[in-house]
Chains A and B, each alone.
Chain A
Amino acid sequence: NAGVTQTPKFQVLKTGQSMTLQCAQDMNHEYMSWYRQDPGMGLRLIHYSVGAGITDQGEVPNGYNVSRSTTEDFPLRLLSAAPSQTSVYFCASSSRGLTNEKLFFGSGTQLSVL
């Protein structure tokens, strides 16, 4: 039972590079989201999706793109990495079918931008 899988677990980028953080869930959840967590801080919502083909911005969307072509996958793209994007990134999913509709989290991606 994989749940929410994020890859990679660690990544180092140089300023200006682009990359994609992968997120996949095998629970058929319609809701998926990306958060970033800076050291000692809370989670801030970057983008979220309520179903395939539907995405919307969260609290801190600038510098990031998302797409949702399938129910299972929700990749996060950094267009031109900046040191301010150094953070831990969490992907999470949920479903209206759950009793409390809690979020299931991936294990996180630690990203450093030099």
Chain B
Amino acid sequence: AQKITQTQPGMFVQEKEAVTLDCTYDTSDPSYGLFWYKQPSSGEMIFLIYQGSYDQQNATEGRYSLNFQKARKSANLVISASQLGDSAMYFCAMREGRYSSASKIIFGSGTRLSIRP
């Protein structure tokens, strides 16, 4: 069965520093997708970045990058040059199977990131 684990309930980081949010996953399916979402205090879910299991390179989206280590089954989110607006809950998620239309997507328990000015 698929499983997502986020071991950091909360983190404090100084503004402008880089931060790494940990995510490990477990699946027996060779085809899967990994996502990161941000949830600010407003409650909306904001998509940040996606990594497919067959993608050769680590995904990047602006200040966000995904450190994908397939053998270790980890998909850590790296935020460079953190900003006060980055303070939020961050969720890692996984989809087993090649297409979302054929498989469920489950989420980790989240990491609350707080940026100090």
Q: Is the CB of B91 within 8 A of A42?
A: yes
**Which of B's residues lie within 8 Å of A, judged by CB?**
6, 33, 35, 37, 43-45, 47, 50, 52, 91, 93, 95, 99-110, 112
Which of these, A31, A43, A56, A94, contacts B107 with CB under 8 Å? A43
CB nearest to B105 among chain A residues: A103
Is A90 positioned at the interface, with any CB of B under 8 Å from its CB?
A: yes
CB distance from B29 to the nearest CB of A (A): 15
CB nearest to B106 among chain A residues: A45
A51 to B100, CA, bound (A): 11
Provide the residues of chain B in CB contact with A95, threshold 8 Å: 100-101
Contact A43 B91, CB 8 Å, known A100-B50, A101-B33: yes
Which of these, A30, A45, A51, A108, contacts B105 with CB under 8 Å? A45
CB nearest to B48 among chain A residues: A102
CB distance from A11 to the nearest CB of B (A): 15
A107 to B46, CA, bound (A): 11
CB distance from B92 to the nearest CB of A (A): 9
Could you show 9 A-B contacts with beta carbons less than 8 Å apart?
Answer: A33-B105, A40-B112, A41-B110, A48-B105, A56-B104, A96-B102, A101-B50, A102-B47, A103-B37
Contact A35 B99, CB 8 Å, known A42-B91, A100-B33: no
Is A88 positioned at the interface, with any CB of B under 8 Å from its CB?
A: yes
Provide the residues of chain A in CB contact with B37, threshold 8 Å: 103
CB distance from A103 to the nearest CB of B (A): 6
CB distance from B4 to the nearest CB of A (A): 8
Is A68 positioned at the interface, with any CB of B under 8 Å from its CB?
A: no
CB nearest to B1 among chain A residues: A59
- Per-residue CB proximity of A44-88 to B under 8 Å, as 1/0? 110010110000101100000000000000000000000000001
CB nearest to B52 among chain A residues: A100
Contact A41 B109, CB 8 Å, known A31-B100, A95-B100, A101-B95: yes
Chain A residues 22-44 with CB under 8 Å of chain B are 30-31, 33, 35, 40-44
Provide the residues of chain B in CB contact with A100, threshold 8 Å: 33, 35, 50, 52
